Structure 1
């Protein structure tokens, strides 16, 4: 008997919200975008829509959305040196591009899975990967080495075109195109540009340069990779981070546990994992913890060493590095 009452109440609330003044994100966010919340009951489940940021009807849109807890000033704090004169992508990356890209995936749980704390941790984790892969920070850099994320949007001195002829029938290289690292989580190789382009409905195979010309698209490509399993039998980085993935006995024996370490395992495999105290792994962990602190969450929420690290984990797929979309940092 409770469901009909709730349905009526939800409809009333939704109607009231639609008639009331629309909530506006603070001007400090750099966007006066509106988020009218609509609540419905569909097959006994509460689903919501929050306008531009969480379109459609999704259970995830009933939770906090990213702009509720991650605003422009926090983006500026995390990437405080990205527009410095010496930064290689000054003027390219901004909060509006990130939040616009994230809006495409929030109805699917990106930053909206579970309670607010989980959402904040996921944003920090995702950006931890982004910051470490696009950083030009070094030990004595002004503001510290962790303040230099989003310094790059492309590989500066590519050593090759990253064209793999093995995929000439499925993802043929476009004449004159170079598939070097570009983006927030750099994409490498023709087949990865092809797969990403298919998912985003953008012709990246013939125009890989689109990634370095459009910050929103660059963030979208990175979030798509975070949300999407690389192979059918594997979880996504999102799944292992937010708790959607339940380790099998084999995973437990391989010391793979849910958390930030498993996201590195899925995204980079043997490039950084199963190698003990690896420098690149530690750099990603440091960015994640630094961002947790700056977002007001605190690095202690990252969890114990075996959750944060993948140094002792066997890789999900021993050949994962060969198909990884980022074979090196874009700052190389």
Structure 2
């Protein structure tokens, strides 16, 4: 009898791993309760904790391993610089922290697919080693890097010596899925994730789940008070003010670039870096079966005519850089 139960437990464990790694075609039935007239759900490991967003489909319901592989087909080729690092399991494990807060779970399946494509559009463009004549096209090379290959400085800003002092001998060059630069960004992100990134920024390049978590935290978190997060700007939780409207800031992909990069890419008309992010987003929408027509018109896609939220400081000028720069 003991052996029988061991076999049952072993089979269950194997099944659980298969579901986590490959996704599940059928949606997991959530636990449901009503609190003050609001429906809240707990959907297990991927959307844990009572949240209205956990009542929706989770990311693995509509974005599975084969789709991740389709988006990043060249990441493990011999010429890539982070072979074996990035994978679907790390992405989904990281996303599990943020799905109860609406990441990929806001406003139904279509919006979830579009948000995943938008987030990965940023990630793909920043970690790409694609170029104009690259095999498979320049958009097929996302997640090629996980760190800046030839940093020309250590990115220590001494203005933050009392809040995020630089650790002697440590370099704060670009690392991750939405690359982190500078001591203050590592410090702030580390505090949020409860990981000592200020002393050990290399943790980002050693752990793909942590690298995705850092990027998702930035996506979900406003840069300043009274401004939207990239997530809120994209899914429509943000209500533009009259000043936003006059500045041509509207819901959509364009404003996510404005939130994350400001005047480094926005308000500059036909900017190459901006266009590269847009191209990755549209490419991923197509590969996910959504179709680029769902991305909206140019004024939604672009931030070329938007007034930037925040002017960039000299020490933030690398935050929009790709890891191949």
What residue is the counterpart of 1:271 in the other structure?
A: 264
Check the 8 A contact 1:125/1:288 in 2, yes or no.
Answer: yes
Q: Aligned residue pairs: how many?
A: 311
Q: Structure 1 pair 321/292, CA: closer, same or farther in 2 (3 Å)? A: farther
CA distance in 2 between partners of 1:115 and 1:325 (Å): 35
Identify which of 59, 73, 80 aligns with 1:87: 80
What does 1:1-332 correspond to in 2, within 5 Å?
Answer: 27=18, 30-31=21-22, 35=28, 37-319=30-312, 322-323=315-316, 326-332=319-325
Q: CA deviation at 1:324?
A: 6.8
For 1:325 and 1:164, locate their aligned partners in 2 and report how far apart those are by CA, in whole Å.
Answer: 13
- The more displaced of 123-132 and 313-322 is 313-322
**CA RMSD across the alignment:** 2.0
Which digits, 9 at most, give the CA deviation of each residue in 1:102-147, with x for residues without a partner? Answer: 0000000000000110000000000000000000001111110000
Q: Residue 135 of structure 1 aligns to a residue in which SS?
A: coil
* Whole-Å separation in 2 of the counterparts to 1:321 and 1:329: 17
Q: 1:135 to 1:286 in 2, by over 3 A?
A: same
Aligned mates of 1:49, 1:109 — CA distance in 2: 13
The answer on whether the counterparts of 2:23 and 2:65 sit within 8 Å (CA) in structure 1 is: no
CA contact (8 A) 1:35 1:53 kept: no
Q: Where does structure 1 lack aligned partners over 5 or more consecutive residues?
A: 1-20
For the Cα contact (< 8 Å) 1:270–1:321, is it kept in 2?
Answer: no
Question: Whole-Å Cα distance in 2 between the matches of residues 88 and 35 of structure 1?
Answer: 36
Q: Deviations over 1:165-188 (max 9, x none)?
A: 000010000111100000000000
Q: Distance in 2 between matches of 1:324 and 1:292?
A: 29
Contact 2:130 2:140 (C-alpha < 8 Å) held by counterparts: yes
Deviation at 1:58, TM superposition (A): 0.2
Q: Distance in 2 between matches of 1:228 and 1:217?
A: 16
Deviation at 1:43, TM superposition (A): 1.1
Alpha-carbon distance between aligned partners in 2 of 1:192 and 1:303, rounded to the nearest angstrom: 32
Deviations 1:189-245 (A, max 9, x none): 000000000000000000000000000000000000000001112110000000001
Give the TM-score, by structure 2 length: 0.92
Q: Is the 8 Å Cα contact of residues 129 and 287 (structure 1) preserved in structure 2?
A: yes
Cα displacement (A) at 1:254: 0.7
Distance in 2 of aligned mates of 1:307 and 1:168? 39
Normalising by structure 1, we get a TM-score of 0.90
Compute the displacement of 1:327 (Å). Answer: 3.9
Is the CA contact (8 Å cut-off) linking 1:268 and 1:320 kept in structure 2?
Answer: no
Q: CA deviation at 1:319?
A: 3.1
- Distance in 1 between residues matched to 2:295 and 2:60, nearest whole Å: 21
